[in-house]
Amino acid sequence: MIENLSHPPRQHAQHGLWLPFSRPNDLEVEGGPVIIERGEGVWLWDTEGRRYLDGVGALEAMALGHGRTELAEVAYRQMQQLAFLDVFRYASKPAIALAETLLQIGPPNMARVFFAPGGSEAVETALKLAFQYHYLRGEPQRRKVICRQGAYHGVTFGAMNCDGRYHATRNDIYLGEGRFGEVAEGPAVGPGWGLGGRHTAGAENFRQKVLQLGHENVAAIIVDPLAVASAVAMPPASDLQALRALCDEFGILLIVDEVIAGFARSGRMFVCELYDVQPDFLVLSKALSSGYMPIGATLVSQKVIDAFNHGNPKDNIFTHGHTYSGHPVACAVALENIRIIKEEGLADRAAQMGIYFQKALARLSHHPSFVDARGIGLLWGLELIGPDKPMTAFSSPRMACLWLRKRLRDLGLVTLTLHPGTVFLLAPPLIIKPDEIDTMVDILDQGLSELDAALGY
C-alpha cells in the first residue's frame, strides 16, 4: 500500500514536543517535524532551507501574511507600556478600543464583545451565554444545540459537543453519553447548492432536526456560514437567511462561527455582511490578529444583553472568563491588524483574487482525480477522487489524500484536508499575488499527476 511507504528521515534531534491531533511518537516515526524557521509574505522556510508556499495561511489565520513588522512593533510598544493585567477586574485601553471597533464593523445588532484566548473558547462563550439566555427567560430546558453534518467548531468540551462527526475528530472518548450537541443530517438540497451539499446539511435539514427534538428543547443553532470544515460546502446566501428565519420562528439563538471565514477572506469583512444576516452571536478568532497573537472574540446581540439586563439579579452574572480574556497586547495587535486590512482594501482584493483563483483552479479539471473546486474570495476547497473511482494503491480515498498532502509539502506547498478527508483547503494570505497563485496551482498540477499515476487512472 502506498501510504505505508516511508519518506527519507529528516535529521532532527530528539525532543519532547507533542503536536496536536497526533500520537505521542508520531514525529519519531516520521523522522521529526518540519521545523519552520521564518516566514515572509506567503512563503515559509524550514531549518534546512526549503521554501514552502503557505497555502492555508497558517491555519487560515494569516490574513496579512508573514513578517509584518507593523504588528511586531505594536506588540513591542504595548508590552513596554502594559504587558498584562487582571482582566477579571480591570480593563485596558486596547481591549476597550478593540471592542468598539468590532461593534462598528460587525453586524448592527451587536452590543457587547467578550474576549477569549482563541476560537474554541469563543465558541464556548457563545454556548454558555445561549444556555443562560434561555434560563433567564424561564426556559431552562432549552439545552440542545444543533450543528451541521461534518462541522467542526473547536476542541473545548462545549465546542466538541457541536462536532458534526468531522472526519478527523474523535471525541466519543472525552464526551461519552449525555452530550447536548445534535447533528443535522444531510445532504443539503435546494437552489444554490453545489456538489459540496453532499457532505453537509442545509436549513431544511435543520428544520427537521428542530421538529424531531421539539423546538422548546433547542437553545441554539451553530453554523459556519461557508461550511468550511464540512468539505467547503459553500451554502448559498439563502441558506443562512433561512436559518435566521427558522431561529426567529422557534425562539432559537443563531451562533455564526466566522473563526475561519471572517475578516475579509470572503470578499467582505464578514460573511454575515455578505449574506445580509444578523446573528445572535458572531464568533471570531484567527485573522482577528492575523495569528500574530492568540485572541478570540464573541460578539453578543442586544437581544441577549436585554435578557441579562432584565433577568433575576441572582442569575444574570455571566460566571465565565479566561486569564487571557482581552489580553492588552493581543488586543493592540488585533486593532492594528484590522486597520491594515481596511487601509489596504484586502476585502476587495480577496474578491478580485478569488476570480483569478477560480480560473487558475479550473486548469486542474483535466485530472481524473479532480471532482470540484468551490469557494469564494480567497477560501477554496479542492475535492478529489469521486465515489465512482476505483481504489487500488490506497486503502481509501482519505489515505490517498493524506499521501498527496505530504507529497505537496515535499513539492513546496503547505495545505490540509477537510471532511470527509478528500477536500483540500486553499486559504492563502490575503496579500497573495497572481503569480503566486499560479505557483500554487502548478504544484497542485504536479501532485495530482503523481496521484493519478499512483491510482492507475
| pLDDT at residue 368 greater than cutoff 50 | yes
Residue 5 has a pLDDT of 34
Residues 6+ apart with CB under 8 A from 306: none
Give the residue-averaged pLDDT of 72-99: 98
Residue type for position 223: V
| Percent of the chain whose pLDDT exceeds 90 | 85
Rounded Cα distance, 271 and 60, in Å: 15
Please give, one letter per residue, the 3-state secondary structure of the chain: CHHHCCCCCCCCCCCCCCCCCCCCCHHHHCCCCCCEEEEEECEEEECCCCEEEECCHHHHCCCCCECCHHHHHHHHHHHHHCCCCCCCCCCCHHHHHHHHHHHHHCCCCEEEEEEECCHHHHHHHHHHHHHHHHHHCCCCCCCEEEEECCCCCCCCHHHHHCCCCCCCCCCHHHHCCCCCEEEECCCCCCCCCCHHHHHCCCHHHHHHHHHHHCHHHEEEEEECCCCCCCCCCCCCHHHHHHHHHHHHHHCCEEEEECCCCCCCCCCCCCHHHHHCCCCCEEEECHHHCCCCCCCEEEEEEHHHHHHHHHCCCCCCCCCCCCCCCCCHHHHHHHHHHHHHHHHCCHHHHHHHHHHHHHHHHHHHCCCCCEEEEEEECCEEEEEECCCCCCCCCCCCHHHHHHHHHHHHHHHCEECEEECCCCEEEECCCCCCCHHHHHHHHHHHHHHHHHHHHHHCC
pLDDT in tens, 314-327: 899 999 999 999 99
Give the count of beta carbons closer than 10 Å to the beta carbon of residue 368: 14
Kindly list the distances between the CA atom of residue 109 and the CA atoms of 88, 302, 303, 349, 391, in Å, as whole numbers in the listed order.
26, 6, 8, 27, 51
- Is the CB of residue 381 less than 8 Å from the CB of residue 150? no
| Percent of the chain whose pLDDT exceeds 70 | 96
Rounded Cα distance, 223 and 374, in Å: 18
In our burial notation (b when 16+ CB lie closer than 10 A, e otherwise), range 83-93 reads eeeebeeeebe
Residue 6 has a pLDDT of 35
Residue 31 has a pLDDT of 67
Kindly report which listed range (13-27, 194-208, 294-308, 342-356) carries the lowest average pLDDT score: 13-27
Give the residue-averaged pLDDT of 420-435: 97
Rounded Cα distance, 416 and 396, in Å: 17
| pLDDT at residue 3 greater than cutoff 50 | no
Query: pLDDT band at residue 4, thresholds of 50, 70 and 90?
Result: very low
Nearest to 284 by CA among 110, 151, 121: 121
Residue 359 has a pLDDT of 98
CA 431, 53, 425, 366: dihedral to nearest 10 degrees? 110
Residue 27 has a pLDDT of 75
Query: pLDDT band at residue 9, thresholds of 50, 70 and 90?
Result: very low
Kindly list the structural domains of the chain, giving each domain's residue range(s) and its CATH number in brackets, ordered by start.
2-67+345-455 (3.90.1150.10), 70-343 (3.40.640.10)
| pLDDT at residue 348 greater than cutoff 80 | yes
Residue in the block written with cell 483569478: 356
* Sheet with 413-414, edge to edge strand ranges: 36-40, 43-46, 51-54, 413-414
pLDDT in tens, 292-302: 999 999 999 99
| pLDDT at residue 121 greater than cutoff 50 | yes
Give the count of beta carbons closer than 10 Å to the beta carbon of residue 32: 16
| pLDDT at residue 338 greater than cutoff 90 | yes
Q: What are phi and psi of 340, to 5 degrees?
A: -70, -40
Residue 1 has a pLDDT of 37
| pLDDT at residue 20 greater than cutoff 70 | yes
Give the residue-averaged pLDDT of 75-95: 97
The length of the chain in residues reads: 457
Residue 30 has a pLDDT of 65
| pLDDT at residue 449 greater than cutoff 70 | yes
Residue type for position 99: A
Residue in the block written with cell 494570505: 429
Phi-psi group of 120: left, alpha or beta (phi > 0 → left; psi -120 to 50 → alpha; rest → beta): alpha
| pLDDT at residue 261 greater than cutoff 80 | yes
Query: pLDDT band at residue 152, thresholds of 50, 70 and 90?
Result: very high
Query: pLDDT band at residue 147, thresholds of 50, 70 and 90?
Result: very high
Partners of 382 in beta bridges:
373, 424
pLDDT in tens, 185-222: 999 998 999 999 999 999 999 999 999 999 999 999 99
- Is the CB of residue 253 less than 8 Å from the CB of residue 306? no
Residue 170 has a pLDDT of 61
Give the count of beta carbons closer than 10 Å to the beta carbon of residue 115: 27
Residue 26 has a pLDDT of 79
**Mean pLDDT rounded to a whole number for the chain:** 94
Residue 86 has a pLDDT of 97
